[in-house]
Amino acid sequence: MGRADLHKVSGIVLPERWGDNDHLLSVLIYTPDDEEYVVKSDSMGKKLFSMLDENVEVVGIIRELNDGRKIITVKNFNYVGREEEEVENDYENDEDEWE
């Protein structure tokens, strides 16, 4: 397969399927445009298991199943960062309260 078959997907790593005793069986990449890519659970894909709730950029081969689900076989990935929560800073303009 040639390089043209590789695709880049960016998103957050989420659990896709759990087994007995809360054993993680597979993860997916959830993209900002609401797409889901199930990660093939081979040796490279399992490296993403430790990155739940983290933003990543994945390069891999994508295939679509008959039911419309997309599977990505990961060739490499980069850590982008943790999903940031919107936190309001109540003290930003209230410096005099701390004096």
CATH-assigned architecture of domain 3-80 = Beta Barrel (2.40)
pLDDT at residue 87, as a whole number: 41
Rounded mean pLDDT of 87-93?
44
Q: How confident is the model at residue 37 (pLDDT cuts 50, 70, 90)?
A: very high
Going from N- to C-terminal start, the domains of the chain cover 3-80
Tokens 């109540």, located at residue: 90
Rounded mean pLDDT of 69-73?
97
pLDDT at residue 89, as a whole number: 41
Q: Which tokens go with 33?
A: 């445009």
Lowest pLDDT segment from 20-24, 38-42, 49-53, 84-88: 84-88
Q: Which tokens go with 30?
A: 């959830």
| Predicted TM-score of the model (pTM) | 0.77
57 beta partners: 10, 78
Query: CA geometry: angle at 54 spanning 43 and 64, to 5°?
Result: 55
8 beta partners: 59
Q: Are strands 54-64 and 36-39 parallel, antiparallel or unpaired?
A: unpaired
| pLDDT of 70 higher than 60 | yes
